[in-house]
Chain A
Amino acid sequence: MAMDALDTTVVADEIRDDIVGTYYRIEGPTFGRYVLADDVEELDGLVDAEELLIKARSM
């Protein structure tokens, strides 16, 4: 796609709506400030607030 358009930003435009604002766990080597994603997992399960609540109350 980027090759057809001679522009890499079209890829970002295409995937932005699908990925921005959602939590992921990404695994892979880092390259400067980027992570080369070998493995991507969307985090959509329940989160446990209990431990954090105990910490907040004890501060």
Chain B
Amino acid sequence: MSQSELTREVARRVFASEFNDSTYTFKESDDERAPNYALLPTGDRANRVFVVGTLTETEDVGDESEYWRGRVVDPTGTFFVYAGQYQPEAASVLRDTEPPAYVSIVGKPRTYETDDGTVNVSLRPESISIVDDATRDRWVVEAAELTLDRIEAFEEWEAEQEAPESGSTAPTNEYAEMARERYDSPVVNYRNDVIQALESLETVEEEEQADDPEATI
């Protein structure tokens, strides 16, 4: 195994809409301990993600042992978070937290296929922390920035494919190529989600100012 595989990767910042579209998973080596990756439609691989949102609902959906499901909402959609006996710390946070609450989660993408053949993406948390609204806003901005970076790299690569004679120096983008093969959803959708997410922050700020008579003077 190469050094890069042994080193823990930086968790991807990804909005719920893109996360839930990341239905294709793959490994890059035959080693049984090789990491599992979800393919992000904006052209990156994600072995681990970092998300912040509002925990709106928790439910123990387990039969014999506890298996907690949490819904975590960001400006673009809902993350479905599942924690059981093998994630005891995350499960206890879901058990003990009274929604609604802002939470930040580090975890791994997992996919499962339903009876009708739909692939659902869920999040298996490694850690869940209760955070404040400032942290949530900061995450929205960071996730927006990193999503735009992925979209930019994707579009540069795409332009290079369409006009190879232009002599562009855009780097090869293995995961953009994979995403275009595997997914139908155009990346512009995720740009629109970024805009929507950032606008939701602006609206909140305006409302807060409107509530505060001092701010309007």
Contacts and interface: CB of A to CB of B under 8 A. Distances in A.
Chain A binding surface SS class: loop
B141 interface: yes
B127 A20 contact: yes
A8 B8 CA distance: 18
A47 B135 contact: no
Contacts of B105: 21
Interface residues of A, number: 21
A9 interface: no
Interface in B110-157: 127-129, 131-132, 134-135, 137-142, 144-145, 148, 151-152, 155
A33 to B, nearest CB: 7
A5 to B, nearest CB: 19
Interface string B171-200: 000000000000000000001001100110
Given A52-B198, A53-B199, A44 B135 contact: yes
Contacts of A43: 138
Interface string A26-59: 0000000100000000011111111011011101
Interface of A: 16-17, 20-23, 33, 43-50, 52-53, 55-57, 59
Interface of B: 7, 50, 52, 103-106, 127-129, 131-132, 134-135, 137-142, 144-145, 148, 151-152, 155, 191, 194-195, 198-199, 201-202, 205
9 contacts: A20-B106, A21-B105, A21-B127, A44-B135, A50-B202, A52-B141, A55-B148, A56-B191, A57-B195
